Structure 1
Amino acid sequence: MQGDKRLIVALDAPDMDRVACLVETIGDAVSYYKVGMELYYSEGSKVISYLRGLDKEIFLDLKLHDIPNTVARGLSSLTTLGASMLNVHASGGLRMMEAARRSVAEKAAELGIARPKLIAVTILTSIDETEWVNLRHDKNIAEYVVHLAQLAQCAGIDGVVASPQEAAAIRAACGDNFIIVTPGVRPQGAAVNDQSRIATPAGALKNGAHHLVVGRPITAATDPRSAALAILREMREKG
């Protein structure tokens, strides 16, 4: 069985032992994994090599945000690892995103490999209206997310990370081919944890998401494989 690539499981684990246990338990139910800061900073590129050795696709979620030259050089190095998708923060600006896009394309061409998708983080799904007011933005969250998505598209970025609640507006503004990756996905009855702008798997897909990132509802479950299969069933409820 080939896992549905619309589901990306977040490996928010501290070490390779935990990663191997989770991935082996989940088995062929999942074919796409997210490697974030905690895991990459503790284990480095060996976790990428491990997942690639199992023919898994990888979203390397390091959210680069710095001056254009620094981000470009960082992404050039990361492109060599063979992840399927990399990301930056859209709030780094148009020039930073353009430099990021060029760097990834040039390094992939130099290596003769498929170019990884490059997406931009809009507003973190942990940000709620109270926190947004504290940041003193003059637009509401949804308007600003769409603005950042359009800025990313203008820079030639493949898509964005955004909450399920903004997915429909992004789809309307940026079209069907613009990738939308949604964290903050919680199956029916699951704990919200530290997420604020959330939706169910079926709801996120109906709103226009291409990929759903799910972590603790699967990785902290008593039976992670069964939890993943249950979410896949919820995803099939779309339409």
Structure 2
Amino acid sequence: MLKFYFNGSPNPSKVALYLEETGLPYEAIAVDTRKGQQFDPEFLKLNPNAKVPVIDDDGIVVFDSNAILLYLAEKHGLFLPDKRYRGEMLSWLMFIATGIGPYSGQAVHFRHFTPEPVPYAMKRYQFEAERHYGVLDEHLANRKFIVGESYSFLDMAAWGWCRMGNYVMGDDAWGKFTNLKRFVEAINSRDAAARALALKDKHSFKPNFDDEAKRFMFRHQHQ
């Protein structure tokens, strides 16, 4: 059975969504990054980059959420855009992987977690997060899905971070990106999305973000 190493953060959540949408059997294995479990030697054998999510598909190990989604969609042929859209699909997948995800993460860090304000960094990452969300919002102006005529793994990939738009960009985010809001709300309304987000509640994770958690999550501050 497929093993899914996860926590409740945006990137594992989109893989959880795919697994719940497809009904593929899997074993969920919690990795508590606030306790530093991502640095355990056995986990580092799976992902030397010390991040979740990771899957072990009967000995085939894949890390990085977008790589996992592409691997599973191509292997099972489920929620995979028609092959005539492959170039467009790869383009938007890389846009999510190199733009939406990283800039959202950095915007969140400098908005919510920096120990002291860093105006330049906050402005830089906020701007780039909003720019990327704006590109996707415009793309969705006259379409329900990112690529093709049907819901695909690519929409799940974008949903992971985009569902947290207010947390990334502030409370007025959805006023700026109404097409993206519609897109996110449509996915949020799916039963599989509710199950994916509830997965973390079935496992024990450290609830408080204390100094120990910060040492593991923000190691650059302790070098």
TM-score normalised by the chain length of structure 1: 0.31
Higher helix share: 2
> With CA pairs under 8 Å and 6+ residues apart, which has the higher RCO, 1 or 2?
2
Higher strand share: 1
TM-score normalised by the chain length of structure 2: 0.33
